[in-house]
Structure 1
Amino acid sequence: MFDVGYMIGLMPVLLGYLPLTLQIATASMAFALVLACLLAIVRVLAVPGLDLVVRLFISFFRGTPLLVQLFLFYYGLPQVIGFLLAINGITAAILGLTLHFAAYMAESIRAAIVGVDRSQSEAALSVGMTTGQMMRRIVLPQAARVAAPTLMNYFIDMIKSTSLAFTLGVTELMGATQKEAAGSFRYLEAFLAVAVIYWVVVEALSVVQRRLETALGRAYRR
């Protein structure tokens, strides 16, 4: 029989693991954003040699499941790369999430950069700006406004994807739920409780996203 009292009592316990989940997601997002910007710039500028490497990187990480990538970094590569034996589950989760989402974010950022009016780039170069200055001062700020809502969606997806970290032995929100459910045999109550927590977090971030879109679009309204 469904035990509402157990579910409600379990929520404070699970919430104690929410900070770790958010820390993993935030760290992964920060690293992924930096990497995605670099990848996108290489794609836009079509840097000889590097462009092919970036295409292969994006193709691989978009074309294989995240869970496979996490297992690859935590269980597979340490067998052939000795120093990877020292990484723990949290580090492997951050690495996997970073590379996986950077591949998707790079394409979104590239599209945003390409969407900036070409005449602005030409004007910047005509007044003596270098390509780096043009990207940093003219193109990227405008591309950021376009890409921001999509990047926020990726962050939301990243928070939900941290639930796979428990497969690497990380006791984050999902890992804690699995242990509580296995110990009490109250699987329905435990997984419904964690679903509600994820739902509330995602809805809160959705509100932030809508306000961010409004703030970014205000300057462009006539």
Structure 2
Amino acid sequence: MQTSLDFQYIIELLPILIKYLGVTMEMAFWGFFFALIIAVAMAIVRVFKLPVANQLASLFISFFRGTPLLVQLFLLYYGLPQLLPIFSGMNAFSAAVLGLSLHFSAYMAESIRAAILGIDKSQMEACLSIGMTRLQAMRRIILPQASRVATPSLMNYFIDMIKSTSLAFTLGVAEIMAKAQMEAASTFKFFESFLAVALIYWVVVMFFTRIQHLLEIRLNKAYS
């Protein structure tokens, strides 16, 4: 039985895993893109308290914040095609992106809503006084200011989404975690395989954490 850590195996495995990092990042970027669109729409609905839509948005947020992401992925990939046959052709990658988008949009919507509510109400009143509609004021004045406030939390959700893509291997997506699982099963070097994938995630997260820090400095420069 092997009791020592095989550093040579980790070094050899890293380039193999990195080849699959593109799939992981593609899932994260697409998931964040669609999540942001859904989140902004729900945040606006919640801020304006639109009848029916507000209740539906609240139900959506409650469900996707109150259930595990893994369960949601299984519901979307295995359960949704049974309920709606139109989704029977959905592949695992699309299901993973859809699951990530819906799950994180529920959290992001609340962050964006809080950022919007944090903007002084007098600014909306000033916009309405010069003839803007509420949506025009939201798009031109309120959202640009709210984006500065919401950026740190949104970047945190993006970083969390990168890590959450590791669950996509349960659907059969050939991403970095899936490859690590296959390598571990074939060599029985489970610790080394999962340590290698952990190191890659760690480096990626540190990279985007640095970008987040620089972005915050840039956005707050005018307010310093």
TM, length-normalised to structure 1: 0.99
The answer for the alignment partner of 2:28 in structure 1 is: 25
Q: Structure 1, residues 104-144: CA drift from partner, whole Å, max 9, x if none?
A: 00000000000001111100101110111100011000000
Give the gaps of 5 or more residues in structure 2.
none
Work out which of the residue numbers 66, 70, 76 in structure 2 matches 1:67.
Answer: 70
> Is the aligned partner of 1:85 residue 2:96?
no
Q: State the shift of 1:80 in Å.
A: 2.0
Identity across aligned pairs (percent)? 60
- State the distance in 1 between where 2:120 and 2:176 align: 44
> Is the aligned partner of 1:139 residue 2:142?
yes
Partner of 1:219: helix, strand, or coil?
helix
Partner of 1:86: helix, strand, or coil?
coil
> Is the aligned partner of 1:211 residue 2:214?
yes
- State the distance in 1 between where 2:80 and 2:34 align: 21
> Is the aligned partner of 1:178 residue 2:186?
no
> Is the aligned partner of 1:128 residue 2:131?
yes
- State the distance in 2 between where 1:213 and 1:80 align: 44
Aligned residues: 221
- State the distance in 2 between where 1:158 and 1:170 align: 16
Q: State the shift of 1:78 in Å.
A: 1.1
Work out which of the residue numbers 141, 151, 156 in structure 2 matches 1:153.
Answer: 156
Work out which of the residue numbers 42, 47, 56 in structure 2 matches 1:44.
Answer: 47
Work out which of the residue numbers 15, 18, 30 in structure 2 matches 1:12.
Answer: 15
TM, length-normalised to structure 2: 0.98
| Structure 1 residues 157-168: aligned runs within 5 Å | 157-168=160-171
The answer for the alignment partner of 2:56 in structure 1 is: 53
The answer for the alignment partner of 1:100 in structure 2 is: 103
- State the distance in 2 between where 1:182 and 1:170 align: 17
Runs (4+) of structure 1 exceeding 6 A deviation are none
Give the gaps of 5 or more residues in structure 1.
none
The answer for the alignment partner of 1:190 in structure 2 is: 193
